[in-house]
Amino acid sequence: MNVEITRLASGLTVVTETMPHLESVALGVWIKSGSRNETEDEHGIAHLLEHMAFKGTARRSARDIAEEIENVGGELNAATSTETTSYYARVLRDHVPLAVDILADILTESAFDEEELRREKHVILQEIGAANDTPDDVVFDKFSEVAYRGQTLGRPILGTPDTVKGFTPGQIRNYLSRNYTTDRMFVVAAGAVDHATFTKQVEERFASLPMTPNSPPVLETARYIGGDVRETRDLMDAQVLLGFEGKAYHMRDFYCSQILANILGGGMSSRLFQEVRERRGLCYSVYAFHWGFSDTGIFGIHAATGGNELPTLVPVIIDELRKSSETIDQQEIDRARAQIRAQLLMGQESPAARAGQIARQMMLYGRPIPNPEMMERLEGITTERLTDLAGRLFFDTVPTLSAVGPIEQLAPLSDITTALATPGIQTKKAAG
């Protein structure tokens, strides 16, 4: 792993991985702030800021930004999540100075013009509308809302129409000055990049970034709550999510949870796919996942199926969860490890994937994690640890249930909770 790290006098961290066989570079700025860092009256502002960064600076119009990067065949984009925000580019090696200049420009000199803000609010309102019209988006938003009720972690990243409409340039600047500071920012590049040259370019162009916030960043401690949320819609299929409290990134069972999710629903050979889809034909999509955050996590199973299949589908899923707490084969662990190893190695062939991976590791662990060290952590996972974890995850915590579509036949949460707590019991068909 040819990774070099420099911490500038300003507090900004610069990280590169040289991949000399490439002609391109993936580079970006990652900020350790996202929607969780919003105050109550800022719901959706992190995502709006990400949009507004591309809408003009003191030196460039929105069109200038787009044309300059595309004139050299480059790409420019951004993303907002619950705990991070990123702005990134992909260019040929000769155009790295231009990409650095544009990224620095949009992060230090954004104009936040009133007319551009009005137009972008309209765009985001359409984005919110499109998400509300997409059942598999809705079911995940509602899932997070009920799992972390009344908390920033449970709020949709896009915000609401009312909050988005009310934002002012002043509010955006306040959020920016509180969160986009050098102690929370990482500039990362992977590909045909020279560390010393790149570091000098970053140091020159990002010199105006503030070192410390004008007020402390907001981050409330997460509390997993769980519960039930349903929305009946006239659709062809039902979207169902069953979840449980998972593990934070730094907890001992985090990697164990990742392996368990892979075994249960990580691919076509997984238990849920084979039993629910292949053997019984109860749904067209089923998978498991584990999301880790800085102080909590969530483990979930998502299925998309016809409403008539729900009375049979849910008990089968519960039965598979119970089986995972009783027995797991070594072969399943080996297959999950092999899949993770392949993902890591394949990611090393993509500069964009490597830049993103390095940035996430810097934000979470303060250093890049070499692949051999990652695999060593996975080697310590045994069948006994996995069955013990499954028992604690699925049967010792309050479940979260989110469902959208023709869900009249979905059992009440009380029946599902009882079925999880009592071996052999079947969930009943919901009344009505």
Asked if 70 is an active-site residue, the reply is no
d(CA 67, CA 243): 44
Q: Cα(first)–Cα(last) distance of the chain, in Å? A: 60
Spatial distance between the Cα atoms of 191 and 194, rounded to a whole number of angstroms: 9
Give CA 42 to chain center in angstroms: 20
From CA 426, how far away is CA 308, in angstroms rounded?
A: 16
Q: Which residue among 50, 68, 83, 145 is the active-site one? A: 50
Rg (C-alpha) for the chain, rounded Å, is: 23
Contact between 33 and 45 under an 8 Å Cβ cutoff? The reply is no
Catalytic residues: 50
